[in-house]
Structure 1
Amino acid sequence: MCVGCWWITDTGLPHDPYVPASPGMMSGPDYCNLYGINVFEMYGTGTDYIKALYDMGIIGPGTSVSTDPVPMDKFESVQWAEALIRAIATREGIGDILAEGTARFAASLGRFDEDVETGVLNKANSNLCYEWHWTTPDHSWVYALALDTRDDNDHVFMNNRDVAISSGLSAEQYVEILAKKLKPFDGDPFAFDNSHTYDTGIYSKHKAKQTAWLRYYRRFFKDSMGFCDWRWPQFLAVNAPDLEGPSPELEATMINSVTGNNYSFEEYMQIGRRIWNLNRCIVALQGKHRSNDVLSPYMYTPAGAEENASIFSSLPQSVPVYKDGKWSFTTMTDSYLDKDGFNTAMSHYYELEGWDTENAWPTRETLEELDLSDMADTLESAGKLGNSK
C-alpha cells in the first residue's frame, strides 16, 4: 500500500537523498534488480568492505585473491557496478564467494573477527545483518536487528517521533499517545523510554514490549499485507485536532473492507505473532541460537555511536527519555550500548515471547498456544525445542 512518497519512488535510488551519488552507485540498484541481488547487502556494507580490502592490498593484483572480473580501479563507475553485480549473480571469479554475502566473504579470508572488532567491517555482525541503519539512538531498531535475519527497516517510531517534535508535542504527550495505541501491549509509556537504564529504559522489561510489537506488526501488516513502511502505522496526524492518527484501528478496517473479514487489530497482531514464531522455528532449524542474537563489538563502543551519528547527521535524532520523574526529547547521538544491558534486555524479550532464555528457541507451550504444535514436534525431533520452565 504505497502512498507514492518521494523518498525512493522519485529517484529510484536507495541512497541518502542528501548525498550526491556517483554514476556507479546510481546505476547499481538497477543492476541489482535485474540480477536479483539484495541492494542493501551491496550498497553500504558490501561495496565499502570490498574497496577497503582492495585499498589495503588484501585482495586484488599481487594477492592470492583476484578481484577479476570486477575492475576495482574503476570503483563507482557504471562499468564497475555492472561487472560486480553480474559476477555475483553468475558466481564468476570473485563473485563466487561474494555471492555468499559480505560476512561470509570476510570469514573466508579469515578476517571476520578482526575486521568487525577494528571497524573495517563495521556494518555486519555474526547474525549476518547490517548495523549502520538507525540502530542508535532509535533503540526500537537495534533489538529487531539482533533478532531478525536482516535489517528490519522499520521507521515506525522514527517517523512518528519526528511528527511529534515538529508539531510541538511534548515528550510526555507523545509517549502517552503511543502507549494507548501499542495494542496488545498498550498502557505502558515506558516501552518508549530510551534512557540507558534497567528499570524503565532500553534494558528493561518495558522495552521488550516495543520490540515484540514491532515483530508482529512487521510480519503481518507490512510483510504479508504490503503496508508501506514509511506511512504505517500512522499514530500521529498533523491535520487532526489532537494530533492523534487513525492507527491502529484503520489498518484492520482497510483489510476487513477488502477481504470481508471482521477481525480486530489485536486479532491481526496475533496472526503476526504466529508468523514471527514460525519464522523463529525455521531459522532455529537452520542453526539460529541466542549466541547469534548479537551485535558487532563496535556497537558497544563510542565508535558505534559516532558511525550512526555521522551517517544520519542531517536528520533529527532526539528521542523520548524518562529521567528524574520527567519526560523530555533528548539528543543522544553519542549513545552506545552496554553489553551486559543488551543481554539483560534480550532475556526480558525471550521471556515475554515465550522462548527459553538459554537458547532463544520457542517452547512447546508457546507454539501450541499459536496452533503450531507440528512445529513443536519438528523442533523437538531436531533437539531445538525451547526448554519450559
Structure 2
Amino acid sequence: MIKKVQKSGVTAAAGVQAAGIHAGFKKRKKDMALLYFPDGATVAGVFTKNKVKAAPVQYDQQALQQHDRFKAILVNSGNANACTGKQGKADVEETVKLLAAELNIQPEEVLVSSTGVIGMFMNMETMRKGVKAIAPELSEFGGAAASKAIMTTDTVPKEVSFTFEVDGKTATIGGMVKGSGMIHPNLGTMLGYITTDVAISQTALHAMLLKAADATFNHATVDGDTSTNDSVFVAATGKLANPLIASAEDAGYAEVEAAVLSICSQLAQLLVKDGEGATKFVEVIVSGAKTMADAVSIGKSVATSSLVKTAMFGEDANWGRVITAAGYADTEYFDADVIDIAFSSKNGEIQLCEAGMGVVFDEELAKKILEADEINILIDLHLGTEAASTWTCDFSYDYVKINADYRS
C-alpha cells in the first residue's frame, strides 16, 4: 500500500540531505541546489534524446557508465551550460572538483545538472562562491529549499513523497522535478530527482527508471520542444537494509518498480499542470487501438497540436482539430470512419463525433465542460483493446509572453 508522508520530497528517504540557496546566477531567487548522500547511494539516470546535449548531461552519462555509487548531485538554474564547447566541459570538471573538495569526497562521486539559458558560458566565480556557501546549508529537511532552487519559469515547486512496503518493511520514496516549458515526450523530463532508502543494484534501478520514464514523462508535453538538458536521476541509499534487489526475479522488485512508476507519474503530471501560461490540464485518452504504439502515437499527436491546445484555452469544442491531429499521427492501423470523440470533465461528458462524423450536441454543455481546469479528450478507435494516455495543457496568451522575453 502506498501512503503519502509529510517529510519533504527528496529528503523524505533516510540517508539524504539537501539544500537550496541563492548563489547569484539569478538576480534574486534561489538558483543552486545540492543533494548529498553521506554514506553514498546507488544512482541511475535517463537523459534527453536531443542530439544537442549540454555539457553536464554528457558528463553525467559517462560517469554513470563508469560508476554506480555517488555522494552528491549539484544543480544550478539560470544557465544551461549548453552549446558551450570545450569551455563548458572544463567548467563542469572544475565544478565537480570544487564540490568534492568542499564535501571531502572523491570527484567521481559527484554528478552535476544545469538548467536555464542556452549558449552562455558559466559564471565560474558565482559557481565557486555558491559551492562554498551551499555545503553548510545541507539538512535532512532541505528538500523544500532544493525544489525551489531548481526552478526556472516554474510558478510552483514540484515535490512528492510517500511510503510503500518492501519485504515486510516500510520503504520511502520522494522526488522533485522542475519544468514548465520546453517539455515534450522524448525522454527527457526536464530535471527530475528521485530518492529512496531501498537497497537495489544500479542495473535494476535503471531498468525501472527507463520503463517508468517511457510510461510517464514520455507521455507529457507542454510545447513540443525537447530540452538539451533533460535528466532524471534515481538515487537509492540502501538505508532500509532490505536484501539487495539485483534483478527482476528478486523479492521486492515489483513493489519498488510500482513505486518508481507512481512517483514518475505524479511528477510528470505536476510538470504539465504548471506548463508555461497553462490554465488547463488536459489528458488525451486513446482507447480501442489495435496496437499500443498506435495509441501512444495518436495521443502524442493530439496532445502536441497547437490548434487543439488553443481550442482548449478558448473553451471551444472543436473536435475537428482532434480528429485531424489523430489522422496525421504515425500509425499502422487507422480507420477514420469508426472513430468516436468525446470531451469530459468534472462538469460532465459530451459526445461530439460518432463513427467519424459530427453529431448534434449541446454547445452550452460543451462550453461548461471545457470551463473546468482539468479536461479529458476521449478518442475511441474501435479497432482493438490497447489504450494509452498523454498529458498536456492548453496554450494561452501568457505562453507567448513568457517565451518572447525569456532571456530578459
The answer to whether the superposition gives a TM-score over 0.5 is no
Give me the TM-score of the superposition, normalised by structure 2: 0.26
User: Larger % of strand: which?
Assistant: 2
Between structures 1 and 2, the one with greater helix share: 1
Q: Which has the higher contact order (CA 8 A, sep 6+)?
A: 2
Q: TM-score, normalised by structure 1?
A: 0.27
